Amino acid sequence: RPVIGVLALQGDVREHATMLERAGATAIGVRRPAELAEVDGLVLPGGESTTMSRLLETFELLDPLRERLADGMPAFGSCAGMILLARQALDGRDDQRQLDALDVVVRRNAFGRQVDSFEGDLDFTGVDGPPLHAVFIRAPWVEKTGDGVEVLARIPHTRDAPAAADRIVAVRQGPVLATAFHPELTGDERVHRLFVGIVQER
């Protein structure tokens, strides 16, 4: 079983750990550089990306994490985790730190107040079977992707949210996977299985 860390500074850590175990990995919480050094891959959970980036600095994890990512460590970020992995976050605060592991520009809280939390079914490249039920909570979307970034899922067209149609909500660049929604909250571990597979390939 691969050992996959869940960044445990803030956010929905336990939910990710449960899903990773169900998907065939051993999950450990990562709070210290020594723990980061032990893992084969890392999940960055949902939560609040500004808070998490501040805590990464406080816990002296920011530089070691950037080094491991630059070295090719697989990572999976959901929601706030996607924001942290991105090259740039729009509407971010000035003190927000980016891990720059994904060549994408994300927009924080992109879906706006009217629909700040919603659920829907998505087609997700690389996930077999029925459409994936996705839970969005003050979610970002991906506004720009660089070469080498594969788009895995987009918001489908619906009558009630035309501005959201076709927005990119899941991407992969090499061993780095990110979703704007929360696959850890639905009991469907297919996205975590995809990530465990990416870790096993390395």
Contacts 24+ apart (CB under 8 A), 64-71: 64/33, 64/36, 64/37, 65/36, 65/99, 66/99, 66/100, 66/101, 68/36, 68/37, 68/42, 69/99, 69/100, 69/101, 69/176, 70/101
- Mark whether 57 is an active-site residue: no
Catalytic entry in 182, 189, 192, 201: 182
88 lines the binding site for ligand GLN (CB under 6 A): no
19 lines the binding site for ligand GLN (CB under 6 A): no
Please check whether residue 195 is in contact with residue 74, taking contact to mean a CB–CB distance below 8 angstroms: yes
83 lines the binding site for ligand GLN (CB under 6 A): yes
DSSP, res 157:
P
79 lines the binding site for ligand GLN (CB under 6 A): yes
Helix (H, G, I), strand (E, B) or coil at 34: helix
Catalytic entry in 15, 16, 79, 189: 79
138 lines the binding site for ligand GLN (CB under 6 A): yes
Give me 10's structure tokens. Answer: 């803030």
Please, what is the minimum distance in Å from the beta carbon of residue 81 to ligand GLN?
Answer: 7
> Rounded to an integer, what distance in angstroms lies between the CA atom of residue 189 and that of residue 119?
17
Contact set for ligand GLN, span 39-68 (CB under 6 A): 46-49
- Mark whether 184 is an active-site residue: yes
> Rounded to an integer, what distance in angstroms lies between the CA atom of residue 38 and that of residue 117?
35
Backbone angles phi, psi at 105, to 5 degrees: -110, 125
* 48 in a known ligand binding site: yes
- Mark whether 35 is an active-site residue: no
Looking at 9, 13, 69, 80, which residue binds ligand GLN (CB under 6 A)? 80
104 lines the binding site for ligand GLN (CB under 6 A): no
Q: Which residues bind ligand GLN (CB under 6 A)?
A: 46-49, 79-80, 83, 108-109, 137-138
Catalytic residues: 79, 182, 184
Residue stretches of the annotated binding site for L-glutamine: 47-49, 108, 137-138
